[in-house]
Structure 1
Amino acid sequence: MHQKPFQFNLQMFSQDFEFNNKEIIGKGFDSIVYKVIRKCDGTEYALKLTSFKDLQHKFNFQQEIRLLYHLNHEHIVKFFASSMDGSCILIEYMPFGNLVKLIDLQLDIRIIKSIVNQIMTAVKYLHQMNIVHGDIKPENALISKKFIIKLCDFGFAIVANQPNTKLRGGSEGYTAPEAAVNENYDAKKCDIFSLGVLFFVLCMGYRPFLSTHPQKQDKFWNFIKNKEWDKFWKIFEAKKPDIGFKNYMQRLLCADPNERYTIEEAIQEDWFKSNQYSVTQLAQQLNIYLTKQ
């Protein structure tokens, strides 16, 4: 049963939770995440505090709280509470960190597809609620104590219930090209693009390009933008990506959002959905990799 989030007085927090300001488990541009322990039963949580550097960052954090309050999905980090002053949130503790630590492990494609599928399942849930995450990247996908992948950080998320709702931010190298220019676009397709970059990074070990911004004139991105896929893939031929991976990437990373998959199409694509691990099987695989590090 989904527990309804509550509010707490930050000044009284130490009465119920053990808090060590040296036990930092994550950092963002304007936030720090600490591990805390509830005194009554020893349950571990993550406490995310923001500094409100400016009004925009205050809005982003408050938007995150508003959205998390309504979200309940097995592949989205659980939200338990927020402080009365809106400066911090209490969320699920994810002891194995984010997906960045998996990038250099040269994981089997079956494991990678299974990881990405869990993230896509969360994105499908969001898109069905007309919510766009807006900042999908390895840093924003965490690994739970049961080795389940969960999406986090909704600071740039938007409710796209109106046509041509614009994104409010994102991370360079993961942001779709249409978001960088002042034109109408489907924000949900921007999430698909970011998923493509994340998938590529997990498979190849690095991003396919540094930026899609027209002012940057990134050589690798220009190959994709101009549909010169042969030139693009030649750069990565030492990695020997198979034809199924290439074709799938081309429908996630294409410059024209109208040619990009929807989240439903991406999940159901034949090459992608074949030969995946179940949630339990993937947990067993990740347990092997992460506990031997």
Structure 2
Amino acid sequence: MHWPHGRQLSFRANRSNCQPTISGDDGIILTIEIEESNVSLGAKIRGLKLNALSGKNWIEVHKAFLKYAVLIFPEQHLTQEEQEEFSTRFGKIEYLVDNLKTIPLTNKASNGELYEQDSEWMKLLKGNEGWHTDSSYMPLAAKASILSARIVPTTGGETEWADMRAGYEALDNATQKKIEHLNAYHSYFHSQAKIGHTVKQGAGYGFNASDAPLHPLVKTHPETKIPALFIGRHIHIIQGLSEKKTEKLVAKLTDIACKKGTTLLHKWKPGDLVVWDNRCVLHRALPYPLTEERLMLHTRVAGDARSERAINHATA
């Protein structure tokens, strides 16, 4: 399968954002270096220890999060507990499986063997190769996602992000006007069915019997007030449009917003941690050799009900 990769991650140092800050309680002065990517989203941050983040450090991180939408912290090597603690800075953790705050995204089973490619779990992971935003298929969409690399394959397995703020801005006036009041139903059943994976109701997180959540195609970011597309593979049907017209419009918007050369691509190294803003970003995983192990730890932050609650689940 051919993937139209975005640019390989490339950064330029934004020296104006290099500033002395206090890290932790030891009073050591560190310099935070923020390196902007060469596209409209993404920054690489050095000079911080996320497991010893002071209040002043957090203010700078949060500002960068709102501005760049994707923050890459190289070589942090956090424990799972430290990753969860950092995640709570952004809000309440969304539990995806039972009582687990963090889930492993891996092709290796608990018995030490690699999963078969046609297993139910690998079909779920395969779905992540389509452009999506996390938990749009839930009554409460996610605010942020935190992903760290533990074991990476020798090739492939990158993560790619697309800026939905820039995507909306790239639309012509007629298209912006056409979609400004449209809403779409998001369904995990539907998105998995499109890749040939039939899932039973109640089979796992997101596969429930409740009404498919209805979200606007264009959402205003609750903190920055910047409009952004809210699209992705989980869209089942746009209210008032046929399935065929829905597919055509979503494909058009995705092609514009995820245009080659405008996306951000990160090649993982063990210890890297990335956090992104689901309210204005799409992402996808890239394929890798399934004969090699890949282990990532994923923590998800729940959205604010005032802005991320589905229209048809307002009282849920």
Which TM class, normalised by the smaller chain length?
under 0.3
Bigger helix share: 1
| Greater RCO (CA < 8 Å, at least 6 residues apart) | 2
Bigger strand share: 2
